Amino acid sequence: MEAKTTVSTAELRPLVSALKNEMQKKGYSPLSMRGLENVWDALLHYASTVPATAFDENFREGFLQTEYGLRMDLEYTMYRASRALELLKNYIEFGVVTGVPKKQRQEFSDAYRPLMTAFADGEARRGLAEGTMKSLWSRLYRLYLFLTDKGADTFGMVTRDMINDFIKYLAPYSTTYVSENLRMLRRLSLYAFQNGYHAEDLSGCIPTVKNSRQQKLPAVFSEDEVEKILSSFDRENPMGKRNYAIFLLAARMGLRSCDIKALEFSFINWTEKTISFTQKKTKKYLTLPLTDDVGWAVIDYLKNGRPVSDSKYVFIQHVPPYGQYRDLRNVLVKQMRKAGIETPANKRIGMHCFRHSLATTMLENGVPLPVISQTLGHADIASTEVYLRINISQLRLCALEVEL
């Protein structure tokens, strides 16, 4: 489809229909389509009740407030509605379907595969962590879909205008997401030029966006909220025992979710009451004292909740083949609702919030910053200093008295 800068709400119906057809061609399942179609149907009905106007941000905001109102604080509703509008907006502005079907394998065409594979191999040799490489492959695949939808069947056909459209497509996203994608695109463009995949070095037309880690305050739970979440688990059933132990590891010891999921029996020294492991993110070896409440929760799960399995991982799925447990974030959202804690619509909530909350609590209790940094396993104390920005009580001690 030819991209358009602006459209009237009176033009939406054929555009929605065209988008549906393109998504079906790309392999979106009927179930995925059904949820999105419900939003688009509501959007078309809303458009028919108001005077024709531009399909802009103000119109979309009015639709969300009118159609969903208070339901927007429900995470799935917010995600589904926002995603449906984003897909339509991007299809209109860029002429592409900016999304990936959930079950679609990330396979590149024969024309793109050699470049993408060679580039990713080079990035891996730089020592990037497993999680970082996984994110890189995801970003490369989204870029590939965008470029091929724009008509670039090979990377050699990519033009400056296509690059500019991709940059404009990224604009609404977070600074971190934009910065990482543009850095990847610059390196890929330079690599393609140096290795004969493109006749021109396009890296020079790609701007640099500084990813300042200090722009965003970490999301935190209060001590009361942490205790409410921990108290909300049903510790009489096996999955409740497992999830309670997992959340205690996050709340009391500040472990990252990736390290909790990868926790092996060999990492726990019951005699010394310690947990020792190499962190997935920083590759830094860390030893932490195993607190009594965490230790007993893990023991309770192992003795009374964990299915019989020879898996090396402590926490496993409770259905065959009893593999490594991975689904932590969905459990968090469920437990927050059970505990009566609202999920903010404008904040990303995840297991990382427990790390931030632990750090903030330690800071408020006067624990020195180097000790907090060591506890959280930060590779650089600068990563810990961000918590100074949310510790209001400590900041008040730094305030100067102003003479009037």
- Catalytic residue annotation: 256, 281, 352, 355, 378, 387
Three-state DSSP class for residue 4 = coil
- The DSSP bridge partners found for residue 286 are 277
Backbone dihedral angles phi then psi of residue 318, each to the nearest 5 degrees: -100, 20
The Cα-based distances of 89 to 48, 51, 53, 59, 191 in angstroms read: 18, 19, 15, 12, 32
How long a stretch of residues is the chain?
A: 404
The tally of CA atoms less than 13 A away on the side-chain side of residue 72 is: 16
Q: How many CA atoms lie within 13 A of 299 on its CB side?
A: 10
Answer for the pair 352, 250: CB distance below 8 angstroms, yes or no. Answer: no
* CA dihedral for 40, 44, 46, 47, sign (positive or negative): positive
CA distance 329 to 337: 13
Measured CA distances, 246 to 243, 256, 327, 386 (Å): 5, 10, 11, 25
What is the C-alpha separation between 95 and 15, in angstroms, rounded? 10
List the one residue out of 25, 16, 113 whose CA is nearest residue 55.
16
The set of long-range contacts for 48-53, using a CB threshold of 8 Å and a minimum separation of 24, is: 50/9, 52/8, 52/9, 52/10, 53/8, 53/9
What single letter denotes the amino acid at residue 244?
Y
